[in-house]
Amino acid sequence: MSATTWAIDPLHSEVQFKVKHLVISTVTGSFTKFQGSATTQGDNFENAAIEFSLDTDSISTHQAQRDEHLRSPEFFDTATYPTISFRSTGFKKVSDDQYTLTGDLTMKGITKSITLDAEYGGTAKDPWGNIRHGFEVKGIVNRKEFGLTYSALTETGGLALGEDIKFVANIQVAKPA
């Protein structure tokens, strides 16, 4: 069986994150520039080799001042670390539409193994005859484990920013033309 490489369609995909602010509310943001692929044996995604990277400078929370702070050395240091990358070490089917995705995440020069949940959304043929597959990938990472150690305190001594970053990526892949 021959290998098939599926490219992420950035026009029909998104990467969002959520983090607690002042422990009472959640701030949502996204990365608008990213790329990736999945290499499969035929059309079967189990055991696919998945690679993904995003442009840290493309962070957007729809607040210019906050976005600039997130690009600074106190957070992502986008001048020094322009990408966050992921390379899978496993993609296992656990039920009909559920998968476990494991791999190495590199953020701010630190690489750690993480495990994510992936839900297969289905397959469709677009108007041009291309086969597409959809996945929703979810996970939580502790930002401090990846060198994002900014820790401002509130007047009462609480953390201004939560340590866990929740993220969800809605990904559509297609065979390159």
pLDDT in tens, 9-52: 999 999 999 988 777 778 899 999 999 999 999 778 999 999 99
pLDDT at residue 47, as a whole number: 93
pLDDT at 155 over 60: no
| Owning domain of residue 77 | 3-174
pLDDT band at 53 (very low <50, low <70, confident <90, very high): very high
pLDDT at residue 21, as a whole number: 75
Closest CA to 39 of 69, 71, 1: 1
pLDDT at 142 over 60: yes
Say which residues have a Cβ less than 8 Å from residue 105's Cβ, sequence separation at least 6.
84, 85, 86, 111, 112, 113, 114, 141, 146
pLDDT at residue 159, as a whole number: 54
Distance, in Å, from the CA atom of 37 to the CA atom of 53, rounded to the nearest integer, reads: 10
- Domain of 53, CATH number, reads 2.40.128.110
pLDDT at residue 152, as a whole number: 64
Stated pTM of the model: 0.91
- How many structural domains does the chain have? 1
Structure tokens at 93: 């089917």
Cα–Cα separations (whole angstroms), residue 111 to 78, 85, 89: 16, 9, 13
pLDDT at residue 20, as a whole number: 82
